[in-house]
A and B are shown apart, each in its own frame.
Chain A
């Protein structure tokens, strides 16, 4: 956990769960696995607050526990370790929710939002909560059927966007029971681990190592969403029915112990595919991006997440699976595929000639190219287009002497030297020494400039974390500066709302509105504008973070 990552995690925890959780969380992130007493002692927080914070962190999957190495007199002591990566995901929540909305509509959006806010929930609890929320926004007298919400939930599970939480293994290795939760009407074993005998292994089992990860429990949820009414309204029959249902709902629905969480990896695969498709669309044209989209869709289920390239698809298959509104002839499809293969970005590669040509999408190479484009654009925006030219040159030619750089880039010597030294001081470019003589005499050594893409990407990733942390800091500062004004405006809005609800006339409303003076109004407007800008910037920096993180992770797994 680097310094910048830890700082960003601390700020995110503070914003979402309060200062107490932030203190405990940052301590765990910085010090690794610790047991309860050490945490209490070192953070100086009361025991109960530490327990509460750990419960919150575990509810959201940011903390795990395992039996420690040191056994006390009462048996092995539990050690807790926090996962910084999971905390950083909080930054991406809006993107997840928006993706669910585009794929599965409002219902899917609310399901994902509920699960993200609550960490993990049972299916019945989620369905009820979402139905209630949807009912609130519907017209009077209408309410949302549980069946529709269950359908949206099942679709999300089928496409692996939601997954079951892995069952927690007890300290003593339980008898490895085979997972029969599907047949038992949903009463899943909440305690003992699966056949993987997770207690024996040191690495925490991934949710996918359990065979029932994506199995929807056969729960029968019948009912409609409840509309929470503060005042008595009409709609008698609906209320009657809901009233009766409220008492029935306290019964168990048969899926106790099966908790669902959002599958971030699947969302990340989706984002990666989206990035590749939009890159192809902007580099070539719409039809080629449709072809690539078809190829990625076909290989969604067959390609493992960490694969370097998708499974080989024959041109015949691609032709058959193209969307119906994209009716291009077979010959044109072949031409497009050839174009894609010949493109220097190397998104698509040809792996054979059977079946009209076997084509793969080079995932790792595509990510690498996207990361490279990001680095180049960073250099261009900060240092100018000529420095960017030098940077691109070095990326392409690997190692160059200073004289060669000047010649290839066609930039006068003095300026080239200046730019190179600026890039060197920013650590975007490295110097490689190659001695001619064993005594490494400087006058007899080659000094070559080079760019190492992976380490530069890592460095920029840390810069991005620092950027987001600074943005959050600045937003908190702005809010704190104008706290008085914000509180005043909130109070006035509350007064206005209550006046309108009780039916006041326009004069009174106008009077209340005039309680905020014009310069204060301007100040408020400027504050809102700043905060919106800062928030929006956080979202966009997170997109860059995603790209760079995917590239770094993909390189790490590819090289293993």
Chain B
């Protein structure tokens, strides 16, 4: 306290080092205190040196851009599967190229990877032999179940025979592991004839259910 009282008499501040050493002379105005953070893009005091140019540089630039573009087409570029739509649509048949979460697009050497990473290889690209028997069976079962449920829901209004047929055909499709794409497509074409979604074929058969459906729409209006 004695020091503080004495300091008041001597000068403004009393610090442990000599203020002149810092370059702030007596009586000089101090720079204004900063009231906001430094700007995000401070003005550049010196311009950057221009980039190198030349054949080598251009070639490496082209290489880099090509590599980047090529990466997107390789199977190593993992995209999330699109979320399941609410209804099964006709165009889904033509969007088969989209990824599904539980399949892998390429077949790595499973002997070099730990067993727990084993994942089913995408059917359209599988070459020879089942990949990982235990995992694939488990996955296949769940797929079979899902397919059965879906097909049953779809064919609730059909005749019993048709429901059994499409259920059987779905199971067959999933069981075959070494099938080529053409055969799969042929099976699906057969299914088209039996499924109710394509009205063209079904129109040959008219079971009379559509006759009175429209009549309920005009209850309030008079019928002329």
B partners with A:
yes
Contact with B along A385-423 (1 / 0, CB 8 A): 000000000000000000000000000001001000000
Taking CB atoms, residues of chain A closer than 8 Å to B68 are 15-16
Q: How far is the CA of A535 from the CA of B65 in the complex (A)?
A: 8
Q: How far is the CA of A414 from the CA of B128 in the complex (A)?
A: 79
Is B52 touching A97 in the complex (CB atoms < 8 A)?
A: no
Is A20 touching B63 in the complex (CB atoms < 8 A)?
A: no
Question: Does A161 sit at the interface, judged by CB under 8 A?
Answer: no
Question: Does B39 sit at the interface, judged by CB under 8 A?
Answer: no
Question: Does A485 sit at the interface, judged by CB under 8 A?
Answer: no
Q: How far is the CA of A191 from the CA of B113 in the complex (A)?
A: 10
Taking CB atoms, residues of chain B closer than 8 Å to A97 are 63
Is A65 touching B78 in the complex (CB atoms < 8 A)?
A: no
Contact (A20, B80) CB under 8 Å given A51-B117, A51-B119, A540-B51: yes
Question: Does B10 sit at the interface, judged by CB under 8 A?
Answer: no
Stretch at the interface among B53-61, B172-180, B214-222: B53-61
Taking CB atoms, residues of chain A closer than 8 Å to B56 are 98
**B64 touches which one: A78, A94, A414 (CB < 8 A)?**
A94
Question: Does B101 sit at the interface, judged by CB under 8 A?
Answer: yes
**B63 touches which one: A16, A94, A165, A168 (CB < 8 A)?**
A94
Question: Does A53 sit at the interface, judged by CB under 8 A?
Answer: yes
Is B74 touching A190 in the complex (CB atoms < 8 A)?
A: no
**B23 touches which one: A52, A78, A93, A414 (CB < 8 A)?**
A414
Q: How far is the CA of A250 from the CA of B102 in the complex (A)?
A: 27
Contact (A59, B23) CB under 8 Å given A49-B101, A94-B64: no
The dominant DSSP class at the B interface is loop
Is B108 touching A55 in the complex (CB atoms < 8 A)?
A: yes
Question: Does B204 sit at the interface, judged by CB under 8 A?
Answer: no
Q: How far is the CA of A105 from the CA of B89 in the complex (A)?
A: 51
Is B109 touching A54 in the complex (CB atoms < 8 A)?
A: no
Taking CB atoms, residues of chain B closer than 8 Å to A414 are 23
| Shortest Cβ gap from A192 to chain B (Å) | 11
**A381 touches which one: B46, B117, B119 (CB < 8 A)?**
B46
Which B residues, 127 to 155, have Cβ-Cβ distances below 8 Å to chain A? Answer: 127-128
Is B116 touching A36 in the complex (CB atoms < 8 A)?
A: yes
Question: Does B162 sit at the interface, judged by CB under 8 A?
Answer: no
Size category of the B interface is: 35 or more
Which B residues, 95 to 117, have Cβ-Cβ distances below 8 Å to chain A? Answer: 101-102, 104, 108-109, 111-114, 116-117
Question: Does B71 sit at the interface, judged by CB under 8 A?
Answer: yes
Is A539 touching B112 in the complex (CB atoms < 8 A)?
A: no
Taking CB atoms, residues of chain A closer than 8 Å to B70 are 117
Is A443 touching B48 in the complex (CB atoms < 8 A)?
A: no
Is B78 touching A78 in the complex (CB atoms < 8 A)?
A: no
Is A94 touching B114 in the complex (CB atoms < 8 A)?
A: no
Is A21 touching B78 in the complex (CB atoms < 8 A)?
A: yes
Q: How far is the CA of A417 from the CA of B153 in the complex (A)?
A: 84
Taking CB atoms, residues of chain A closer than 8 Å to B108 are 55, 58-59
Which A residues, 271 to 312, have Cβ-Cβ distances below 8 Å to chain B? Answer: none
Is B78 touching A52 in the complex (CB atoms < 8 A)?
A: yes
Q: How far is the CA of A168 from the CA of B114 in the complex (A)?
A: 10
Question: Does A259 sit at the interface, judged by CB under 8 A?
Answer: yes
Contact (A441, B61) CB under 8 Å given A49-B78, A250-B127: no
Which B residues, 4 to 57, have Cβ-Cβ distances below 8 Å to chain A? Answer: 16-18, 23, 45-46, 48-49, 51-52, 56-57
What are 6 contact pairs spanning A and B, CB under 8 A? A21-B78, A36-B117, A55-B113, A98-B63, A168-B111, A384-B46
Given contacts A18-B79, A97-B63, A441-B16, 12 further A-B contacts (CB under 8 A): A17-B71, A18-B77, A48-B101, A51-B117, A93-B67, A94-B63, A117-B70, A381-B49, A417-B23, A535-B61, A536-B61, A538-B64
Interface residues of A (CB under 8 A from B): 15-21, 36, 46, 48-49, 51-56, 58-60, 65, 78, 93-95, 97-98, 113, 116-119, 165, 168, 190-191, 250, 257, 259, 381-384, 414, 417, 441-443, 532-533, 535-540
Interface residues of B (CB under 8 A from A): 16-18, 23, 45-46, 48-49, 51-52, 56-57, 59-61, 63-65, 67-68, 70-71, 74, 76-80, 101-102, 104, 108-109, 111-114, 116-119, 127-128
